[in-house]
Amino acid sequence: MSELTYAGRAFVFRVDNGVVFRNTYAADGTSLHYETLEGPAKGSEETVTLHTAEVAPGLFMLGWAETSGMTVTHVMNLNTLTVHAFWTDEAGDGRVAELHTGTLEPA
């Protein structure tokens, strides 16, 4: 695997549903600290352990589980500064899944 070009960097991630995060990646690329800047969970933050794969140069698949039980997968394209995000969470009728797109800006 080549260099993890997201490692040690921070991005503002703007999701198509209006939620905005600041994602800060550890220098070794094994963890992520996210802060919710806009949206229903504004002010929440957590550090999570990442499971990663480089799909192609500048294209990474990142996955993690949050303490709330939410699971998240990002396909992060640092060449185009875009993300396809998929997450699942518990709702009243069971587990629900959402697919979103968004943009990245260096923070």
Per-residue pLDDT at 6 exceeds 90:
yes
Mean pLDDT confidence for 2-23: 94
Residue showing tokens 């923070």: 107
- The full set of domain ranges for the chain reads 10-106
> Which residues are within 8 A (CB) of 87 and not within 5 positions of it... i.e. 6 or more apart?
70, 71, 72, 73, 97, 98, 100
Are 62 and 32 in contact, with CB atoms under 8 Å apart? yes
Q: How confident is the model at residue 2 (pLDDT cuts 50, 70, 90)?
A: low
Q: What is the pLDDT of residues 33-63, one digit of tens each?
A: 999 999 999 999 999 999 999 999 999 999 9
Matching CATH number, 10-106, of 3.40.50.10860, 2.40.128.20, 3.30.420.40, 3.40.50.300: 2.40.128.20
Structure token digits, residue 39: 């949206």
pLDDT of amino acid 3: 75
Rounded to the nearest 10°, the torsion over CA 57, 26, 76, 98 is 150
Q: What is the pLDDT of residues 73-101, one digit of tens each?
A: 999 999 999 999 999 999 888 999 999 99
